[in-house]
Protein backbone atom coordinates (compact mmCIF):
# COMPACT_ATOMS: atom_id res chain seq x y z
CA UNK A 1 0.00 0.00 0.00
CA UNK A 2 1.38 3.40 -1.01
CA UNK A 3 1.49 6.05 1.69
CA UNK A 4 0.64 9.63 0.85
CA UNK A 5 3.56 12.01 1.52
CA UNK A 6 3.20 14.53 4.37
CA UNK A 7 0.95 17.51 3.67
CA UNK A 8 2.51 20.62 2.15
CA UNK A 9 1.04 23.91 3.39
CA UNK A 10 1.95 27.20 1.73
CA UNK A 11 0.75 30.76 2.15
CA UNK A 12 -0.82 32.63 -0.73
CA UNK A 13 2.40 34.63 -1.14
CA UNK A 14 4.48 31.43 -1.26
CA UNK A 15 2.21 30.01 -3.99
CA UNK A 16 2.54 33.24 -5.99
CA UNK A 17 6.32 33.04 -5.74
CA UNK A 18 6.62 29.46 -7.05
CA UNK A 19 3.76 29.23 -9.57
CA UNK A 20 3.19 31.03 -12.86
CA UNK A 21 0.13 33.30 -13.03
CA UNK A 22 -1.78 30.58 -14.90
CA UNK A 23 -0.77 27.85 -12.46
CA UNK A 24 -1.83 30.09 -9.57
CA UNK A 25 -5.19 30.86 -11.22
CA UNK A 26 -5.88 27.20 -11.93
CA UNK A 27 -4.32 25.54 -8.89
CA UNK A 28 -4.98 27.96 -6.04
CA UNK A 29 -8.09 29.77 -7.31
CA UNK A 30 -9.73 26.57 -8.70
CA UNK A 31 -9.66 27.85 -12.27
CA UNK A 32 -9.78 25.93 -15.53
CA UNK A 33 -7.40 26.31 -18.44
CA UNK A 34 -8.88 26.58 -21.92
CA UNK A 35 -9.49 23.33 -23.75
CA UNK A 36 -6.78 22.36 -26.25
CA UNK A 37 -4.28 24.80 -24.71
CA UNK A 38 -0.91 24.15 -26.38
CA UNK A 39 1.42 22.33 -24.01
CA UNK A 40 -1.31 21.10 -21.67
CA UNK A 41 -0.25 17.45 -22.20
CA UNK A 42 -3.49 16.51 -23.93
CA UNK A 43 -1.48 15.23 -26.89
CA UNK A 44 1.40 13.76 -24.84
CA UNK A 45 1.91 10.14 -25.96
CA UNK A 46 5.18 9.18 -24.22
CA UNK A 47 5.31 6.86 -21.22
CA UNK A 48 5.81 8.75 -18.00
CA UNK A 49 4.44 10.26 -14.84
CA UNK A 50 2.53 13.49 -14.29
CA UNK A 51 3.71 15.32 -11.16
CA UNK A 52 1.90 18.07 -9.26
CA UNK A 53 3.64 21.43 -9.83
CA UNK A 54 3.03 22.37 -6.20
CA UNK A 55 4.70 19.43 -4.44
CA UNK A 56 6.16 17.10 -7.08
CA UNK A 57 3.89 14.20 -6.05
CA UNK A 58 3.17 11.72 -8.86
CA UNK A 59 -0.58 12.09 -9.37
CA UNK A 60 -1.21 10.57 -12.81
CA UNK A 61 0.49 8.04 -15.08
CA UNK A 62 0.54 7.58 -18.84
CA UNK A 63 -0.68 3.98 -18.33
CA UNK A 64 -4.00 5.43 -17.12
CA UNK A 65 -4.32 8.18 -19.73
CA UNK A 66 -6.82 8.06 -22.59
CA UNK A 67 -8.06 10.29 -25.40
CA UNK A 68 -11.36 11.80 -24.27
CA UNK A 69 -11.71 14.39 -27.03
CA UNK A 70 -12.35 17.10 -24.43
CA UNK A 71 -9.15 19.11 -24.92
CA UNK A 72 -7.71 18.26 -21.50
CA UNK A 73 -5.56 15.32 -20.45
CA UNK A 74 -7.86 12.59 -19.15
CA UNK A 75 -7.12 9.60 -16.94
CA UNK A 76 -9.29 6.68 -15.77
CA UNK A 77 -7.62 6.63 -12.33
CA UNK A 78 -4.99 8.43 -10.23
CA UNK A 79 -1.42 7.09 -10.03
CA UNK A 80 -2.00 5.59 -6.59
CA UNK A 81 -4.49 5.51 -3.78
CA UNK A 82 -4.59 8.57 -1.55
CA UNK A 83 -2.89 11.11 -3.85
CA UNK A 84 -6.15 12.81 -4.94
CA UNK A 85 -8.89 14.30 -2.76
CA UNK A 86 -12.35 15.21 -4.06
CA UNK A 87 -15.16 17.54 -3.05
CA UNK A 88 -18.47 18.65 -4.52
CA UNK A 89 -18.32 21.74 -6.72
CA UNK A 90 -21.46 23.87 -7.08
CA UNK A 91 -19.94 26.64 -9.24
CA UNK A 92 -21.91 25.51 -12.31
CA UNK A 93 -25.63 24.80 -12.49
CA UNK A 94 -24.99 21.04 -12.30
CA UNK A 95 -22.99 19.85 -9.28
CA UNK A 96 -19.62 18.34 -10.18
CA UNK A 97 -16.85 16.54 -8.31
CA UNK A 98 -13.69 18.62 -8.09
CA UNK A 99 -10.32 17.00 -7.49
CA UNK A 100 -7.24 18.32 -5.70
CA UNK A 101 -3.75 17.07 -4.93
CA UNK A 102 -4.05 15.37 -1.53
CA UNK A 103 -0.57 16.55 -0.56
CA UNK A 104 -0.59 20.29 -1.31
CA UNK A 105 -4.24 20.95 -2.17
CA UNK A 106 -3.77 22.40 -5.68
CA UNK A 107 -6.87 22.12 -7.85
CA UNK A 108 -6.42 19.51 -10.57
CA UNK A 109 -9.76 19.43 -12.37
CA UNK A 110 -12.94 17.36 -12.16
CA UNK A 111 -13.97 13.72 -12.28
CA UNK A 112 -16.94 12.49 -14.32
CA UNK A 113 -18.68 9.11 -14.60
CA UNK A 114 -18.30 8.81 -18.38
CA UNK A 115 -14.84 7.25 -18.68
CA UNK A 116 -13.61 3.93 -20.03
CA UNK A 117 -13.20 0.60 -18.23
CA UNK A 118 -11.96 -0.49 -15.83
CA UNK A 119 -13.20 2.40 -13.63
CA UNK A 120 -15.78 4.14 -15.80
CA UNK A 121 -14.33 7.45 -14.60
CA UNK A 122 -12.86 10.37 -16.53
CA UNK A 123 -10.51 12.48 -14.47
CA UNK A 124 -10.38 15.66 -16.59
CA UNK A 125 -7.18 17.41 -15.52
CA UNK A 126 -5.70 20.86 -16.14
CA UNK A 127 -2.30 20.35 -17.74
CA UNK A 128 -1.11 23.73 -16.43
CA UNK A 129 -0.87 22.24 -12.96
CA UNK A 130 1.25 19.27 -14.05
CA UNK A 131 4.88 18.51 -14.86
CA UNK A 132 5.39 15.51 -17.14
CA UNK A 133 8.43 13.34 -16.47
CA UNK A 134 9.10 10.78 -19.21
CA UNK A 135 10.09 7.29 -18.13
CA UNK A 136 13.61 6.21 -18.91
CA UNK A 137 13.81 4.03 -21.99
CA UNK A 138 15.75 0.78 -22.04
3 inside domain = no
- Cα dihedral: 38, 23, 46, 103 (round 10): -160
Q: Is the pLDDT of residue 92 over 50?
A: yes
Judge whether 107 and 129 are in contact, CB under 8 Å. yes
Q: What is the pLDDT of residue 2?
A: 54
0.75 cut: is pTM over it?
Answer: yes
- CATH number reported for the structural domain that contains residue 87 in this entry: 2.170.150.20
Tell me which residues are annotated as active site.
124
97 inside domain = yes
For the beta sheet containing 130-134, the strands, ordered from the edge strand earlier in sequence to the opposite edge, are 58-61, 48-52, 130-134
HSE (CB half, 13 Å, CA atoms) of 34? 4
**14-18, 87-91, 100-104: lowest mean pLDDT where?**
87-91
**In total, how many domains does the chain have?**
1
Task: Quote the domain boundaries for residue 101.
Answer: 42-134
Cα–Cα distance measured from residue 63 to residue 102, given in angstroms and rounded to the nearest whole number: 21
21 inside domain = no
22 inside domain = no
Judge whether 65 and 72 are in contact, CB under 8 Å. no
Q: What is the pLDDT of residue 90?
A: 64
120 inside domain = yes
109 inside domain = yes
Amino acid sequence: MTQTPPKVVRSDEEWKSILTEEQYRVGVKDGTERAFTPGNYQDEKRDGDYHCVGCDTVLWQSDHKFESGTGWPSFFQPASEGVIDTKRDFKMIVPRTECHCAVCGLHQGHVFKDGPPPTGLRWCINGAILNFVPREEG
